[in-house]
């Protein structure tokens, strides 16, 4: 009997020790590790981390309107980054449960992480909520399995069939998962890009007129826009890029460090999730100038070094496999609409961007079209 009680006591003591170690000691040690390097953030809260604060900030942001047709949307679509970057700087640490997340919004460290071709960083896996939507598709894979899927699916977007020694194949379930990925990553993002482009052109009639004049010059009034001569649609291309800058489909990109790494001068422990605040970078006045929150397609008139400062399709080896197809598709559809219709915002339109998987108008895009 005494031995049984002793064994029970030891088991409970070990369980308590492991819980205190993982829930209290490890997060505190990591927090101090970053603090000694000058990186702060909202304090760690046992078990839940900062999840409660995040939820309250999102609920508060969604309950308020934008107060006009403005493009300074960071505080609404990424409220935690807007608030905490203001308090702790562009690079800070916050917590989801016991997992640390490091926020980045400077081009150099972003390039260092996402252009990395080694094994220092992996893709953060899908959450339990999003995994059923994407399955084990390209977006959530790592290592050799990701490389295999990338090689095979790349053929579809390059309109070619390539032999890699013995022909590589996917299982039926893997094909289903990739179809899920292509549907949600392709249809959802391109659809929202076109939605925001139409909203912006409805707001800024002068650019709608310029785009229509260009489309008519290239295709005339009756010929349907096609892949031919797309390169001549310079203004339409500038408008699409500026739309992607102001209203990118996703607001963050993430990786997880697989080992202790030096990120610039910052020592990052293994297991740290690294999040680049894409929307913060795209709206940064230090990068884009004082008019960073204004719609100005002319900023894309001349080529510029935008690596790390403009990345709506991602960066590096994991850049969106369908980006060229998406841009071609968006150009053609937008040109077809502009050629045949003029449009303005409906008086019922409420400007309220919100993040639901992708960036969407919370109350829809109410636009009035008139046949030309």
**Active site residue ranges:** 189, 313, 320
Q: Which of 103, 98, 46 is nearest to 78 (CA)?
A: 103
Q: What kind and span of H or E run contains 32?
A: helix 26-35
**Range 95-107 burial, b when 16+ CB lie within 10 A, else e:** beebebbbbbbbb
C-alpha neighbours within 13 Å on the C-beta side of residue 20: 6
Residue 94 has phi, psi (to 5 degrees) of -140, 175
Sign of the Cα torsion 350, 352, 357, 359 reads positive
Give CA–CA dist 246/189, Å, rounded.
Answer: 14
Neighbours of 37 (CB within 10 A): 13
Give CA–CA dist 329/337, Å, rounded.
Answer: 13
């Amino acid at each position: 009997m005494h031995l049984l009680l002793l064994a029970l006591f030891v088991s409970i003591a070990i369980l308590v020790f492991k819980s205190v170690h993982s829930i209290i000691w490890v997060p505190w040690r990591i927090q101090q590790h970053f603090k000694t390097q000058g990186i702060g953030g909202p304090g760690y809260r046992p078990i839940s981390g900062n999840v409660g604060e995040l939820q309250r900030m999102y609920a508060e942001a969604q309950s308020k309107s934008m107060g006009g047709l403005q493009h300074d949307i960071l505080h609404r679509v990424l409220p935690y980054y807007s608030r905490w970057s203001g308090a702790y700087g562009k690079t800070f640490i916050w917590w989801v449960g016991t997992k640390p997340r490091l926020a980045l919004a400077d081009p150099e460290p972003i390039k260092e992480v996402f252009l990395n071709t080694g094994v220092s960083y992996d893709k953060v896996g899908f959450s339990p909520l999003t995994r059923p939507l994407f399955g084990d598709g390209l977006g959530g894979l790592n290592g050799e399995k990701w490389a295999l899927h990338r090689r095979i699916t790349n053929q579809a977007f390059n309109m070619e069939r390539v032999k890699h020694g013995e022909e590589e194949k996917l299982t039926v379930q893997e094909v289903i998962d990739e179809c899920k990925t292509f549907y949600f990553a392709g249809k959802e993002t391109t659809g929202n890009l076109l939605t925001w482009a139409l909203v912006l052109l409805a707001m800024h009639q002068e650019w709608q007129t310029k785009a229509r004049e260009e489309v008519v010059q290239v295709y005339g009034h009756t010929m349907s826009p096609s892949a031919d001569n797309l390169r001549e649609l310079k203004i339409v291309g500038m408008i699409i890029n500026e739309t992607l800058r102001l209203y990118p489909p996703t607001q963050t990109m993430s990786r997880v460090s697989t080992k202790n790494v030096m990120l610039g001068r910052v020592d990052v422990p293994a297991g740290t999730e690294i999040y680049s605040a894409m929307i913060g970078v795209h709206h940064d006045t230090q990068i884009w100038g004082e008019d960073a929150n204004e719609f100005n397609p002319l900023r894309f008139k001349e080529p510029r070094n935008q690596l790390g400062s403009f990345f709506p399709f991602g960066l590096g080896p994991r850049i969106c496999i369908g980006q060229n197809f998406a841009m071609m598709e968006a150009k053609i559809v937008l040109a077809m609409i502009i050629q045949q219709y003029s449009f303005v915002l409906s008086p019922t339109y409420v400007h309220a961007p919100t993040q639901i998987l992708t960036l969407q108008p919370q109350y829809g895009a109410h636009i009035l079209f008139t046949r030309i």
